[in-house]
Structures are given as structure tokens and as C-alpha cells.
Structure 1
Amino acid sequence: MASKLPVINIKAQSNHHALFLMLTALILFITTLVFSLSYWRQFQLVLTFIYLSELVIFITGLAKYLQPKYSLSLNPKGIIYQHSCGHWQVDWLQIKRISLMNETLGFEQIQLPFIGIRLIQLSILAKQISPRLANRLIHEQRPLLALAIKLKYLTLEQSQLSFEAFELPSGESITGPLAAFLHHSSVLHQALGYHLFIPETAMDRELNEFCTLLKQCMKSSVEYS
């Protein structure tokens, strides 16, 4: 009987305290409601502001609660990134490099809140990412394009979204959100050197520690080949 492969599930720090926020908002709402029954006329503006604040707190907690339980799953075969809009997955053998992203802006060295992944071949993503997530990531990664333009790695024209078909090595043409994302990833690779970007908000530890974990998993994967 084959042994079950080990899995490291990562729960994003940004998703913590979801239930706490919703419960806090409900308790505050009930307290405010009781107070409003007697003092609504005297404190109408203040109470309205408090109600709106409670609504914001509840929605924030609900948004966290509706996120996938785990943002990332690491196993000897590869890595799976989970998002509310879908997922992408990549085998360790398909990865060329994993690294922190450091850039020089003027005289200052800055560390971007991402871990970059350079693939051996971009085209593998055509069948390994959800179309809905592909479309979403194009919008979420706009700050990376803006930075590349600011650093003069790209021109404004090069950063424009392409809706042309993407030609795979097999000769197959990909269209729609997947094609747009593959063009987008190609442009980011040209500018920043990576195809995929794991945001710091999806991690459960510091950037340096998480990057080390990914590299260790990638190195250890050969033991399960």
C-alpha cells in the first residue's frame, strides 16, 4: 500500500480573526441598538456613524470568513495556490527559480511583498490555472506593472493588456482570460523576471521564512520521485 504524501497547508494571516470580527460587530450592534432606543434623537449622527462602522467590521470579518480555508498547499509533487476566484497549481519540476523580490528605487533598496516564481515554461499554466482566477490576477497584479513602468523596465505601451490569442508550443491557440493572463505573465517575466507571484497576504509567516520553506520543499521533493 502506497504511503500518503505529506502536505503542508498554509492558512493566510490575513484570514485570521474572521469570526472574532463578526462576533464583535454583532455585540456592538446589539449594544448600540439598545442605546438608540432611548437616545436616538440626541445622538442621531453619532449613532449613525457607529452603525456604519459596525457594518464595515462585520463585512471585513465576513470577507475573511469566505476565503478558502488554506491559501496554499505544499506537497512533494508541487504547490497549490487557493484564491476565492479559483486556484493555480505547479509541480516543483516545472519551476526554475523561487526568490524574494528586491528592487532598487532611486537610492533605496526595497523588498516587494511577493515571492516570485519563474517557470521553466509559461505555457504549462494554460491547463493549471482557473480562468476566473487568471482574470482576477491580472487586476490584482496591476501594482507590479506600475512599479515596472516606474523603474523603466517597461513602457506604458508594453504594459497594456493584450487580448490576442496566445500560441502554445503545441500549436494550440488559447483565447479569452487565459490568453490575456499568459500575455500578462510574459510581460511581468520580461520586466521582473518571474511568471507567478505569491502575495505576502497569503502567507502564515515572514517573507524570508516562507521563501526558505518553499525552497526546502522544492529541494526535498526529489526524495519522493
Structure 2
Amino acid sequence: MDKKCPALSVRAQASRHGSEFLVVGGIGLIIIMLVNLLRPGEISLVEIFLATSCIAAIFIGFLKTQEPYFSLTFTQNLLIYHHKVGNWQLNRANFHHSGIPKVEQGLEYLELNAVGIKLNNIDEFLTQIHPRIAGRLLIEQRHLFMQVIQKHCKNGDCPSEWLIEETDYTAPSGQLYKGLIAMFANRTQHLRQLTGYDLLLPANVLDVDIWQFSADLNRWKLNPNEFIETRLQKM
């Protein structure tokens, strides 16, 4: 990371309040169990409902605690996306612009609940992403991509390559990719074809709404030092 400018770490909404869910759910479940043990008679439907809610809270809290504490880190020259299975890095020089992906059809349009990133050079990005995180993002972001293609395929006639990513990909530079990286590259190619963006940052990995974060990314592109210092002062 660059030493001339401090780093800015962003904590996602998805990872917040995990401990609180665990504590509240655990205490609630213990109280319900104690009340049921000390009180004669069968457990009531209300107690069953409350116990189920507490178990659900514990499960949600556990899932939240498994997420990285910070989802994104900005430095002077890098945007780093943190995932529980790894991370990817994007050089500022390879960042073209960001926006909200939308699909238009006639007078209708659909905005995805995500921020889109357009790259200058897909090759540069593919050489540093690990197959493990590429495969996980293919699965986790498929619902967003399906929203896009469903808008284009209302009659059910979709190109097969939109539905199942091929395991071979030849980059503009001539570099051949195979396996998960190739599948991820084909997804980015189709995404750009349909929305104009290569990468997606879902709303649940952001600390502000998608419109604000998209504007923040473009501000970082233009003046990273000023953007990072301004955000740090507000924290």
C-alpha cells in the first residue's frame, strides 16, 4: 500500500451487528429455555415462535461474523475488495469509471442493486484474481446477472453462452484462460455487452447507498488523496 496517503477501509453493511445478533439471540434462547424448565406445563406456541426467532438471530449473527470486517480498502493507487475466500485488487489506472448498471428495453429499464465498474484492461485484472474468489463471485452474483438477461430474454430465447459461462476465454491480448478464470472472464464480457460494466459491487458490500458509492469511486479516480482524506475526516 502507498505510504504517502493513508488507506481508507470500508465496512460493509452485511458484516455489521453480527455480535449483537449472537448475543441477543443467545440470551433470548437461554431465557426461554429457563422459563420453560421452571414453569409447569407444555411449551406454548408463543415460546416455540420466540425460540425459533432466537435461533434464526444466532444463525444470522454467525453468518455476519464470517464476513470480512472490512469489505473494501482504498489506497492512492489501489481498490482492494475483501472476501472471505480471498480478495481482488484493481489499479486506479485500470479503473475507467463507475455507475449504476441498468438494462433498457423500450420505455422500461431495470437498475441493479449494485455498483458497476468499467475497466480499461480486462487482461490486467484477470492476471491477479485467484480462481477461488472468481468462482465464488460467479455464484454469489449470478442472481444480479440473471436479472439482466431476463430483461433481454422475455420470450425465453436467450443465447446459451449467457446462461452457462464457457470454460475457455481468449483475451484481447491473445492470452488464453481456462477454468474458473475463463468463466469469470466470459461473465464480465457478457456483463459489459449488456450493461457497459465489467465488475459488480453488490449493495451489501458497501457502507453507503449505491449512488453515493458510485460517485465516491469516481472521486477516488480523479483525486485519490483528497477523497481518502475527506472520508477519513468524516469517520
Provide closer, same or farther for how the CA distance between residues 147 and 156 of structure 1 changes in structure 2, counting only shifts above 3 A.
farther
C-alpha deviations, 1:108-149, integer Å up to 9, x for none?
Answer: 554321111111121222222221111111122222332222
Distance 2:136 2:27 in 1: 34
Q: Say whether 1:20 aligns with 2:56.
A: no
162-171 or 84-93, which deviates more: 162-171
- Unaligned ranges ≥5, structure 1: none
Provide closer, same or farther for how the CA distance between residues 170 and 158 of structure 1 changes in structure 2, counting only shifts above 3 A.
closer
Q: Say whether 1:100 aligns with 2:100.
A: yes
Q: Is the 8 A contact 1:122 1:186 kept in 2?
A: no
Query: 1:32 maps to which residue?
Result: 32
Query: 2:147 maps to which residue?
Result: 147
Return the match for 2:191 from 188, 192, 197: 188
Secondary structure of the corresponding residue to residue 100 of structure 2: strand
Q: Is the 8 A contact 1:89 1:128 kept in 2?
A: yes
Query: 2:222 maps to which residue?
Result: 219
Distance 2:44 2:141 in 1: 42
Structure 1 length normalisation: TM-score? 0.87
Q: Is the 8 A contact 2:105 2:152 kept in 1?
A: no
Query: 1:197 maps to which residue?
Result: 200
Structure 2 length normalisation: TM-score? 0.84
The percent identity for this pair of structures is 26
C-alpha deviations, 1:15-65, integer Å up to 9, x for none?
Answer: 211111110011101101101213474226544443332221111011111
Q: Say whether 1:163 aligns with 2:194.
A: no
- Unaligned ranges ≥5, structure 2: 227-235
Q: How far is 1:107 from its partner?
A: 4.3
198-207 or 148-157, which deviates more: 148-157
Secondary structure of the corresponding residue to residue 189 of structure 1: helix
Q: Is the 8 A contact 2:88 2:128 kept in 1?
A: yes
Distance 1:101 1:163 in 2: 23
130-139 or 47-56, which deviates more: 47-56
Q: Is the 8 A contact 2:131 2:181 kept in 1?
A: yes
129-138 or 194-203, which deviates more: 129-138
Distance 1:142 1:163 in 2: 15
Q: Is the 8 A contact 2:123 2:173 kept in 1?
A: no
Matched to 1:178, the amino acid is I
Distance 2:18 2:3 in 1: 35
Indicate the RMSD between aligned Cα atoms, in angstroms.
Answer: 2.5
Q: Is the 8 A contact 2:123 2:171 kept in 1?
A: yes
179-188 or 152-161, which deviates more: 152-161
Distance 2:94 2:36 in 1: 60
